[in-house]
Structure 1
Amino acid sequence: MEKPARASRTVMTQIIFPLDTNHHETMFGGKVMEYMDKAAAIAAMRHARMQVVTASTDSLDFVAPIKVGEVIEVEAYVTWTHDSSMEVCVTVESENLYTSQRTTTVTAFFTFVALNDQGKPAKVPKVYPETDEEIRLFATAPERYELRMKRKRERQEAAKMLK
């Protein structure tokens, strides 16, 4: 069975308090990553309707700071599937509630693997795109998948050398 990308769409909204920020009064990068991973996991579970684990995260590039008092919106959805894995696009946008200015602060692709009741990889439904953005990301996903597989092989080799 196939599912539309929109069926997995997940949006989390958070206001940023002083405890979420560093000494520059900007949000801790690790806290942003936590929210991104949670939203991506929810999107993957909505698509697969089973438990999932994070397999990889492509580079996170923080392009703008998130300031105390701003609101962030973390949006995630499944853009592509393989056998048991799902690519999830995650975008974080900050908003100044007084000026209504919205800024994309970070984007990344997460990969999740669906697991069956025995904790083994399980087949996931195919995803199909509908919007222009979804179609573009779906079309370019196989190239990102190959790059991830290459990176994984290189890291496995490096781990063997470090033993």
Structure 2
Amino acid sequence: MRNETRTVHLVRPGDCNHYGSLFGGTAMAWMDEAAFVAATRHARAKVVTVHADAMDFRHPVPQGSIVELVAWVKEVGRSSLRLEVEMWVEPIEREERRLACRAGFVMVALGPDGRPKPVSPL
């Protein structure tokens, strides 16, 4: 079983464009943050984002929705971690979940000197 990090956000008016859907940049920031937490939990060190794969938007995320982000470490290199992040959207008024977005991230662990630091394997 994979170790997952889960975070939840409410989609508020300030998070949305004039169509009432979540801004793509906000979605990316939330996903990067979830990846950061998952990578930090694995590395137990300072980590930084070095790459984000293409974000695959599958469904709009409307204002007023509940968003759950699920992030997990998929692969580990010497000092790098490849993570997957999914964004699930739930309307408040009904019991339904849809995968709204998915992306991959690469983080690198850094030591106190700011240089790449080895991390434990999966």
TM-score for both structures, normalised by structure 1: 0.73
Correspondence for 2:45: 50
- Give 1 or 2 for the bigger CA radius of gyration: 1
Q: How does 1:113-152 map to 2 (within 5 A)?
A: 113-127=108-122
Structure 1 alignment gaps of length 5 or more: 128-163
Please say if 1:96 is aligned against 2:91.
yes
Cα RMSD for the two superposed structures: 1.0
Count of aligned pairs between the two proteins: 122
Amino acid at match of 1:38: E
- Percent identity for Structure 1 against Structure 2: 35
The CA deviation at 1:101 is 1.5
TM-score for both structures, normalised by structure 2: 0.97
3-state DSSP class of the match of 2:106? strand
Match of 1:85 among 80, 93, 113: 80
The CA deviation at 1:10 is 1.0
Amino acid at match of 1:122: K
Structure 2 alignment gaps of length 5 or more: none
1 or 2, which has the higher helix percentage?
1
Distance in 2, matches of 1:45 and 1:78, equals 10
1 or 2, which has the higher strand percentage?
2
Match of 1:64 among 59, 64, 68: 59
Amino acid at match of 1:116: G
Instruction: Tell me: higher relative CO, structure 1 or 2? Use CA pairs within 8 A at least 6 residues apart.
Output: 2
| Segments ≥4 residues shifted beyond 4 Å | none
